[in-house]
């Protein structure tokens, strides 16, 4: 884990050692997970989490269509 600070324009620079460690040369993927940003080499991410655009759409629909209904009665 590494900590980075944002500049006045809310940008951050990924330190060179992290770029080298994760073998990021051009394309990267940033994910927000429980308040932390994960940095992935795009090719490695796509190998591990290979999903077609249709599969991603179906997953998104499933996640956002799950609604529980609660009822509250007056006592």
Tokens coding 42? 């795009």
Range of the domain at 50: 16-65
Position 8 in a domain: no
4 within domain boundaries: no
Asked whether the beta carbons of 27 and 43 are under 8 A apart, the reply is yes
pLDDT digits 0-9 by tens, 45-63: 888 888 788 887 888 788 8
Task: State the total domains in the chain.
Answer: 1
DSSP string spanning 18-65?
A: HHHHTT-SS-EEEEEETTEEEEEEHHHHHHHT---HHHHHHHHHHHHH
Q: Name the pTM for this structure.
A: 0.54
Q: What is the pLDDT of residue 9?
A: 93
Please report whether residue 2 resides in a domain: no
The answer to whether 24 and 39 have CB atoms below 8 angstroms apart is yes
The answer to whether residue 32 sits within a structural domain is yes
Residue 49 lies in a domain: yes
Residue 44 within any structural domain of the chain: yes
Does the structure show a pLDDT above 80 at 31? yes
| 51 occurs within a structural domain | yes
């Amino acid at each position: 884990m590494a900590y980075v600070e944002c500049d006045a324009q809310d940008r951050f620079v990924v330190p060179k050692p992290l770029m080298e460690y994760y073998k990021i040369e051009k394309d990267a993927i940033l994910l927000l997970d429980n308040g932390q940003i994960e940095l992935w080499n795009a090719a490695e991410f796509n190998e591990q989490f290979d999903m077609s655009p249709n599969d991603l759409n179906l997953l998104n629909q499933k996640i956002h269509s799950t609604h529980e209904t609660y009822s509250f009665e007056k006592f």
